[in-house]
Structure 1
Amino acid sequence: MNRALSSNLGYPRIGGGREWKKALEAFWAGKLQETELVSRMEEIRLNHLRTQQASGIDLIPVNDFTFYDHMLDTAAMFGLVPGRFGYEGGEVPLSAYFAMARGSEGAPACEMTKWFNTNYHYIVPELNGAEPQLTVNKPLLAYREAKLRLGIEGKPVLIGPYTFLKLSKGYKTEHFDKLLERFVPLYARILSELEQEGAQWVQIDEPILATSLTEADMERVAFVYKKLHEAAPRLKLMLQTYFDAVDLYEQIVTLPVQGIGLDFAHGLDKNSEHLLQYGFPADKRLGVGLIDGRGIWRSDLDARLRLLHTLSPIVPYERMMIQPSCSLLHVPVTAAHETKLERTLRNALAFANEKLEELVLLTRAVNEGPAAIAAELEQSRQAVQELNASPSRNNERVQSETSRIALQPSERSRPFAERRAVQQSKWNLPFLPTTTIGSFPQTLEVRQARKHWRSGEWSQEQYEAFIREQIRTWIALQEELDLDVLVHGEFERTDMVEFFGEKLDGFAFTSNGWVQSYGSRCVKPPVIYGDVEFTKPMTVDETVYAQSLTAKPVKGMLTGPITILNWSFVRDDIPRETVAYQIALALRREVEALERAGVEMIQMDEPALREGLPLKREDWQKYLEWSVLAFRLATSTVKDTTQIHTHMCYCEFHDIIDSIRALDADVISIETSRSHGELMHSFEEHTYDHGIGLGVYDIHSPRVPSVDEMVRMIDRALAVLDPELFWINPDCGLKTRGVDETIAALRNMVAAAKQYREQSLKPV
Structure 2
Amino acid sequence: MTVISSNLGYPRLGEHREWKHLLEHYWRHDLDEDQFHATAKTLRLANLAKQRDLGVDYIPVADNSDYDHVLDTLAAFGATPTRFGHFDHALTLTDYYAIARGTKTATAAEMTKWFNINYHYIVPEFDDVHFQLLDNRWLRYYQEAKTELGIDGKPVILGPISFLKLGKRHGQYLDDAAVAELLPQLLPLYEQVFTELVAAGAQWIQLDEPTLVKTTDSAEILPYQQALTTLHQAVPALKIELQTYFDSLDLYDQVVDLPVQAIGLDLVHDHGENLAHLVDHGFPSDKVLAAGIIDGHNVWASDLTKKFALVQQLTDIVTTDRLWLQPANSLLHVPITTKNETQADPVLLGGLAFADQKLQELATLTTAANQGITSVQARFDDNQAHLQALNTSSHRNNQAVRQAEQHLADQTFERQAPFATRIKLQHDRLNLPLLPTTTIGSFPQSKLVRSKRAAWRHGDLSDTDYQAFLNAETKRWIDIQNDLGLDVLVHGEFERTDMVEYFGQKLTGFYATQNGWVQSYGSRGVRPPVIFGDVAYTEPITVAASKYAQSLTDKPVKGMLTAPLTIINWSFVRDDLPTAQVQNQIALALRQEVQNLEKAGIKVIQVDEPALREGLPLKQRHWQAYLDEAVYSFKITTTGVANDTQIHTHMCYSNFTDIIDTIKALDADVISIETSRSHGEIISAFEQTGYQQEIGLGVYDIHSPRVPTVDEIKANIERALRVIDARQFWINPDCGLKTRQEPETIAALKNMIAARDAVQSRLETTTGGTIDGL
2:613 and 2:656 in contact (8 A); partners too: no
Amino acid at match of 2:685: S
Q: Map of 1:371-386 to 2, 5 A cutoff?
A: 371-386=374-389
1:590-624 Cα offsets, whole Å, 9 max, x none, are 00000111111000001111111111111111101
1:464 aligns to 2:467 (yes or no): yes
2: CA distance between counterparts of 1:216 and 1:652?
24
Alignment of 1:641-652 (within 5 A): 641-652=644-655
Partner of 2:616: 613
Q: Per-residue CA shift, 1:232-283, capped at 9, x if unaligned?
A: 1121110011111111000000001010011111115101100011000001
SS at match of 2:156: strand
TM-score normalised by structure 2 residue count = 0.97
Matches within 5 A, 1:402-421: 402-421=405-424
- The answer to whether the 8 A contact 2:100-2:122 is kept is yes
| Contact 1:654-1:686 within 8 A present in 2 as well | no
Alignment deviations for residues 173-208 of structure 1 (CA, whole Å, 9 cap, x no partner): 332211122222221221222222221111011111
Q: Is the 8 A contact 1:683 1:720 kept in 2?
A: yes
Looking at structure 2, the residues matched to 252 and 676 of structure 1 have their Cα atoms a distance apart, in angstroms, of: 36
2:437 paired residue number:
434
Letter in 1 for 2:678: S
Which residue does 1:425 correspond to in 2? 428
Aligned ranges for residues 511-550 of structure 1 at < 5 Å?
A: 511-550=514-553
Q: For 2:727 and 2:77, locate their aligned partners in 1 and report how far apart those are by CA, in whole Å.
A: 46
Work out which of the residue numbers 744, 748, 762 in structure 1 matches 2:747.
744
Q: State which of 210, 213, 224 in structure 2 corresponds to 1:210.
A: 213
Q: In the alignment, residue 106 of structure 2 is paired with which amino acid?
A: A
CA distance in structure 1 between the aligned counterparts of 2:537 and 2:215, rounded to whole angstroms: 39
Partner of 2:42: 43
CA displacement, residues 505-563 of structure 1 (integer Å, 9 cap, x when unaligned): 00011111111000000011111000000011100001001101110000000000011
Q: Which moved more, 1:170-179 or 1:606-615?
A: 170-179
CA contact (8 A) 1:87 1:96 kept: no
**Partner SS for 1:610:** coil
Q: CA deviation at 1:224?
A: 1.5
Contact 1:408-1:633 within 8 A present in 2 as well: no
State the match for 2:404 in structure 1: 401
User: Structure 1: which amino acid aligns with 2:186?
Assistant: F
**2:604 equivalent in structure 1:** 601
Distance 1:346 1:438 in 2: 33
**Aligned equivalent of 1:313:** 316
Compute the displacement of 1:425 (Å).
1.3
Q: In the alignment, which residue of structure 2 is the partner of 1:506?
A: 509
Q: Number of matched residues?
A: 763
What is the CA–CA distance in structure 2 between the aligned matches of 1:231 and 1:275, rounded to whole Å?
A: 30
Residues 103 and 706, structure 2, Cα contact 8 Å, conserved in 1? yes
Structure 2 match to 1:19: 18
| Alignment pair present for 1:85 and 2:84 | yes
- Equivalent residue in structure 2 for 1:581, among 565, 584, 589: 584
- What is the CA–CA distance in structure 2 between the aligned matches of 1:404 and 1:234, rounded to whole Å? 63
> How far, CA to CA, are the matches of 1:749 and 1:384 in structure 2?
53
Residue 353 (structure 2) pairs with residue 350 (structure 1): yes
Question: What is the alpha-carbon distance in structure 1 between the residues aligned to residue 27 and residue 126 of structure 2?
Answer: 27
1:615-654 CA deviation, whole Å, 9 max, x = no partner?
1111111101101111111001111100000001112111
Q: Separation in 2 of the partners of 1:393 and 1:189?
A: 54
Q: Which residue of 1 aligns with 2:451?
A: 448
The alignment's TM-score, normalised by the length of structure 1, stands at 0.98
Q: In the alignment, is the contact (CA less than 8 A) between 1:603 and 1:645 conserved in 2?
A: yes
Q: Partner letter of residue 154 of structure 1?
A: G
Q: 1:482-497 counterparts in 2 under 5 A?
A: 482-497=485-500
In 2, distance between residues paired with 1:685 and 1:280? 49
Q: Deviation at 1:88?
A: 3.1
CA distance, structure 1, for counterparts of residue 271 and residue 430 of structure 2? 52
Change over 3 Å in CA distance of 1:761–1:441 after alignment to 2: same
Q: Which runs of 5+ in 1 are unaligned?
A: none
In structure 2, distance between residues paired with 1:673 and 1:429 = 24
Question: How far does residue 405 in structure 1 lie from its aligned partner after superposition?
Answer: 2.5
| Corresponding position: 1:295 with 2:298 | yes
The gaps in structure 2 that reach 5 residues or longer are: 768-774
Contact residue 10 and residue 64 of structure 1 kept, 8 A: yes
Residue in structure 1 matching 2:594, options 591, 595, 607: 591
Q: For residue 734 of structure 2, what is the aligned residue in structure 1?
A: 731
Q: Letter of the 1:706 partner, please give it.
A: T
Structure 1 residue 687: Cα displacement:
4.0
Q: What is the Cα deviation at residue 498 of structure 1?
A: 1.0
Match of 1:223 among 223, 226, 229: 226
The aligned counterpart of 1:761 is 764
Aligned twin of 2:641: 638
Letter in 2 for 1:467: L
**Which residue does the alignment assign to 1:129?**
128
Give the C-alpha shift of residue 53 in structure 1.
1.1
1:688–1:721 CA contact under 8 A, matched in 2: no
What is the CA–CA distance in structure 2 between the aligned matches of 1:451 and 1:611, rounded to whole Å? 32
Cα contact 1:21–1:520 (8 A) shared by 2: yes
Task: Measure, in 2, the Cα distance between the counterparts of 1:728 and 1:224.
Answer: 46
Q: Is the 8 A contact 1:504 1:532 kept in 2?
A: yes
Of the three residues 694, 698, 715, the one matched with 2:697 is 694
Query: 1:22, CA displacement in angstroms?
Result: 0.6
Is the contact made by 1:409 and 1:636 (CA closer than 8 Å) also made in structure 2? no
- CA deviations on 1:362-409 (whole Å, 9 max, x unpaired) are 101001111111000001111111100000101111122223333233
Alignment check: 8 A CA contact 1:212 1:616 kept: no
What is the alpha-carbon distance in structure 2 between the residues aligned to residue 272 and residue 175 of structure 1? 34
Counterpart check, 1:283 vs 2:286? yes
8 Å Cα contact 1:189/1:231 also seen in 2: no
For 1:634, the aligned partner's letter is: T
Specify the alignment match of 1:159 in structure 2. Answer: 158
Matched, 1:659 2:662: yes
Structure 2 residue 623 is matched with structure 1 residue 624:
no
| 2:380 counterpart SS class | helix
The one-letter code of the counterpart of 1:121 is H
Contact 1:155–1:202 at 8 Å: present in 2 too?
A: yes
In structure 1, distance between residues paired with 2:314 and 2:385: 26
1:53 aligns with 52
3-state SS of 1:729 partner? coil
- Paired residues of 1:431 and 1:724 also in contact (CA < 8 A): yes
Note if contact 2:660-2:685 (Cα within 8 Å) is conserved in structure 1: no
Q: Would the aligned equivalents of 1:364 and 1:372 in 2 still touch at CA under 8 Å?
A: yes
Q: Which amino acid aligns with 1:263?
A: D
